[in-house]
């Protein structure tokens, strides 16, 4: 209807008012509940143009529209707002269209350009945690929403499988893994531990021994034992130690942190892990075999976790294969005078004219930095998917600046698709217990959390009953659907940009703005439809206020899908669903459905119920959530 009204105004404004209008000035609002109307047109932008009062401008707009739009029954003017009342047949026709169109609100598949959506992108030195859950659910959901908006979508990730943090797990496993009675170190096979958890265990183990060695070095320095250390290091220590004299507690704390860092740099473990990284980069056979083996353990573990999450990928990239790709781009940038080389041989880009700063893209020794790698990976993806029009990077907001720089460099290098690159920046997930730290082993493990919400869903559902006639497998599947639905919805209903507090117990509650609340509405409607049997025509039914309110909300669905895609925000869909289900619950309590005596009215209400269930199910799928038929 909004598009039809826009079209009428744009075609007739000059004839009717003697002046053309711009589409951007045609603004709609939801009609306030205290006024009669289904749609409100804001007249203020036209009042000045036509040299009329806002009220007169609204009146003239109404007179024009009622002549040209047969679906409008009447209108009323409140100051500069035109409240439009649509005919009853319009709403019944809307319901018929919604009920008969299985893809209502969604664009034709692959009717728009190709977008790559990157998410997850984990390190292979630890299992996935709560932060990864928000990342994966966001990325997967945005990919599905972009598909619903007509885009061809490629789901991808880059796996961070190289670097010193990977070598830390490798070295710790070699040094600290106990031998069993067969002389074997720990493996997923002989321990029964998931591969990513086993590798993550040794990442924590490295840090434990690393800190212990650093502490011992500190104790030696503080007691005057300095033999075996470089003179310049001891000189630096003494300088820091003397600087503590007379300082306040905060200043002393900062100095002690610098001393601790100095000691860490003197540990044999750090020296050995750096040597291991050099061996890996030189393709040392033994180091490479260990790397392949332990990464294989992690990939098996990740696959199990992704399956439980319900996410998938179309194309995987590995940092070990892409980290050198950017060097050719550096040469290209130098030739185009986008980059410049300093006297020490390092290569930089000057972005100060764009309000940013100078950024290193290649070290003086010729080694790549993260920016180099990301430039190379972006072009590698374009090479793999030539029809790609843009990319969406699902990465935490601590990388906001990095992506500003990345997209700007790509644009300066002349890649037009850089304008359609988007950083899906999201806030951290906090817990009542505080921040998570991987090295200290204080993260909330993704597998453990998913198991916890499923177990909680089992307890809640079993207490409520309603499981008669279900097999054990069906029950377990239901518990999984409710637990995972609650977890996903809780993490997706908040605007991605916002930091959030996660409470597992709240996520599976049946009341309030939760996934199970929406799932239960779907299950209740399915039960209702089974009891109702075949549904007939409803053309002679009169619409009540409750029915009309639901149809209005359903009619907004296409614009909700578009808004969610435009803003890369599953929260738009989540909160629309909550409002829809609240309105449906009010409708269901306010009017009879199965016991309604007028067959046309009964049919209309049943079609309305089915349409709500269909929109809930399809929308939850966009969030990666399943809708049980029975709860």
Q: Is-contact 19 33, C-beta < 8 A? A: no
CB atoms within 10 A of CB 612: 24
SS3 36: coil
| Closest alpha carbon to 410 in 351, 340, 498, 341 | 351
Buried b (16+ CB within 10 A) or exposed e, 566-590: eebbbbbbbbbbbebbebbeebbee
CA 94, CA 88: separation in Å to the nearest integer?
10
Q: How many residues does the chain have?
A: 631
* Residue that is last in its domain, among 33, 61, 86: 86
CA distance 368 to 376: 10
Output phi, psi for 125, to 5 deg. Answer: -120, 10
- Check whether residue 346 and residue 451 sit in a common domain: no
Residue 503: per-residue pLDDT: 84
Residue 41 near residue 93, CB atoms below 8 Å:
no
Give the rounded distance of the alpha carbon of 109 from its chain centre: 22
Q: Among the three residues 30, 51, 86, which one is the final residue of a domain in this structure?
A: 86
The answer to whether residue 603 is domain-embedded is: yes
β partners of residue 129: 445
* Residue 339 near residue 347 (C-beta atoms within 8 A): yes
CATH of the domain at 571: 1.10.730.10
How far apart (Å, rounded) are the C-alpha atoms in residues 418 and 403?
11
Nearest-angstrom CA–CA distance, 234 and 263: 10
Q: Classify residue 223: in a domain, yes or no.
A: no
Residue 441 has a pLDDT of 46
In this prediction, residue 58 carries a pLDDT of 94
Q: Who's near 451: CB < 8 A, 6+ residues apart?
A: none
Q: Is residue 529 in a domain? A: yes
Spacing of C-alpha 514 from chain mean position:
17
Residue 350: which domain range? 325-367
What is the pLDDT at residue 442? 55
pLDDT at residue 237, rounded to an integer: 94
* Neighbour count for residue 394 (Cβ, 10 Å): 27
State how many domains the chain has: 3
Who's near 575: CB < 8 A, 6+ residues apart?
493, 513
Q: What is the CA radius of gyration of the chain?
A: 31
34 occurs within a structural domain: yes
Is 35 part of any domain? Answer: yes
Unique residue bearing structure tokens 């916002």: 498
**Does residue 440 sit within a domain?**
no
Task: Identify the pLDDT of residue 188.
Answer: 98
Residues 350 and 491 in one domain: no
The answer to whether residue 166 sits within a structural domain is no
Q: Are residues 342 and 486 in the same domain?
A: no
Cβ contacts of 525 within 8 Å, gap of 6 or more: 609, 610, 612, 613, 616
pLDDT of residue 609: 97
Asked if residue 330 and residue 463 are part of one domain, the reply reads: no
- Residue 189 has, within 13 A of its CA and on its CB side, a CA count of 5
Q: SS3 for 248-287, per residue? A: CHHHHHHHHHHHHHHHHCCCHHHHHHHHHHHHHHCCCHHH
| 429, 502 contact by CB (below 8 A) | yes
pTM: 0.91
> Which residue, 367, 396, 420, sits at the end of a domain?
367
Please give the Cα distance from 522 to 524 (Å, whole number): 5
One domain for residues 618 and 485 = yes
The strand ranges marked E within 504-571 are none
Quick check: is 243 in a domain?
no
Which stretches in the chain have pLDDT values below 50?
A: 435-441
Q: Which token pair is 289?
A: 């075999």
CA distances to 331, 336, 361, 610 from 349, in Å: 12, 12, 7, 58
Same domain as 586, residue 464: yes
607 close to 538: Cβ distance less than 8 angstroms: yes
- The CATH number for 51's domain is 3.30.1360.70
Reduced to 3 states (helix: H, G, I; strand: E, B; else coil), residue 593 is coil
């Amino acid at each position: 209807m909004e598009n039809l009204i826009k079209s009428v105004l744009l075609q007739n404004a000059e004839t009717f008012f003697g002046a053309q209008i711009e589409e951007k000035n045609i603004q709609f609002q939801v009609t306030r509940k205290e006024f009669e109307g289904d749609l409100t047109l804001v007249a203020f932008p036209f009042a000045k143009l036509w040299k009329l009062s806002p009220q007169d401008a609204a009146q003239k707009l109404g007179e024009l529209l009622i002549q040209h739009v047969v679906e409008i029954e009447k209108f009323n003017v409140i100051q500069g707002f035109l409240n439009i009342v649509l005919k009853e047949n319009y709403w019944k026709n809307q319901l018929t269209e919604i009920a008969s169109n299985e893809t209502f609100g969604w664009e034709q598949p692959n009717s728009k350009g190709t977008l790559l959506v990157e998410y997850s992108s984990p390190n292979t030195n630890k299992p996935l945690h709560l932060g990864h859950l928000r990342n994966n659910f966001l990325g997967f959901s945005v990919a599905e929403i972009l598909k619903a908006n007509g885009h061809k979508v490629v789901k991808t990730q880059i796996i961070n499988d190289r670097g010193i943090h990977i070598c830390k797990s490798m070295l710790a496993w070699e040094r600290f893994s106990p031998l069993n009675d067969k002389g074997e170190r720990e493996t997923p096979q002989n321990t029964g531990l998931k591969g990513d958890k086993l590798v993550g265990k040794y990442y924590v183990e490295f840090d434990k021994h690393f800190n212990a060695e650093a502490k011992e070095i500190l104790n030696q320095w503080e007691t005057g034992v300095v033999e075996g250390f470089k003179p310049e290091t001891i000189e630096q220590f003494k300088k820091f130690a003397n600087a503590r004299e007379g300082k306040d507690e905060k200043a002393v704390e900062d100095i002690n942190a610098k001393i601790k860092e100095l000691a860490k740099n003197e540990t044999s473990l750090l020296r050995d892990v750096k040597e291991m990284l050099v061996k890996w980069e030189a393709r040392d056979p033994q180091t490479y075999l260990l790397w392949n083996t332990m990464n294989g353990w992690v990939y098996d573990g990740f696959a199990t976790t992704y399956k439980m999450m319900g996410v998938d990928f179309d194309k995987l990239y590995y940092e070990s294969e892409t980290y050198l790709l950017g060097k050719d781009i550096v040469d290209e940038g130098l030739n185009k005078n986008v980059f410049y080389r300093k006297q020490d041989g390092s290569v930089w880009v000057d972005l100060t004219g764009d309000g940013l700063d100078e950024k290193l893209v290649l070290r003086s020794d010729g080694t790549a930095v993260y920016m180099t790698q990301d430039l190379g990976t972006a072009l590698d993806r374009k090479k793999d998917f030539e029809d790609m029009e843009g990319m969406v990077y699902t990465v935490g907001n601590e990388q906001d600046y990095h992506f500003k720089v990345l997209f700007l460099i790509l644009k300066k290098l002349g890649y037009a698709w850089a304008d359609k690159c988007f950083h899906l920046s999201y806030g951290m997930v906090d817990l009542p217990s505080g921040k998570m730290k991987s090295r200290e082993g204080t993260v909330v493990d993704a597998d453990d959390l998913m198991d916890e919400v499923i177990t909680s869903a089992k307890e809640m559902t079993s207490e409520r009953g309603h499981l008669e006639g279900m097999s054990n497998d069906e029950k377990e599947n239901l518990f999984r659907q409710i637990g995972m639905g609650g977890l996903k919805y809780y993490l997706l209903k908040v605007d991605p940009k916002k930091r959030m507090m996660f409470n597992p117990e709240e996520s599976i509650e049946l009341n309030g703005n939760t996934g199970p609340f929406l799932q239960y509405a779907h299950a209740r409607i399915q039960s209702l439809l089974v009891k109702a049997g075949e549904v007939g025509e409803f053309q002679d039914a009169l619409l009540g206020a409750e029915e009309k309110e639901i149809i209005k909300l359903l009619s907004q669905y296409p614009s909700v899908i578009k808004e969610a895609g435009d803003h890369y925000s599953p929260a738009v869909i989540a909160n629309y669903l909550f409002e829809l289900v609240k309105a449906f619950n009010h409708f269901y309590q306010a009017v009879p459905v199965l016991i309604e005596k007028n067959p046309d009215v009964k049919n209309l209400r049943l079609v309305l119920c089915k349409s709500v269930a269909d929109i809930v199910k399809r929308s939850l799928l966009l969030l990666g959530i399943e809708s049980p038929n029975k709860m």
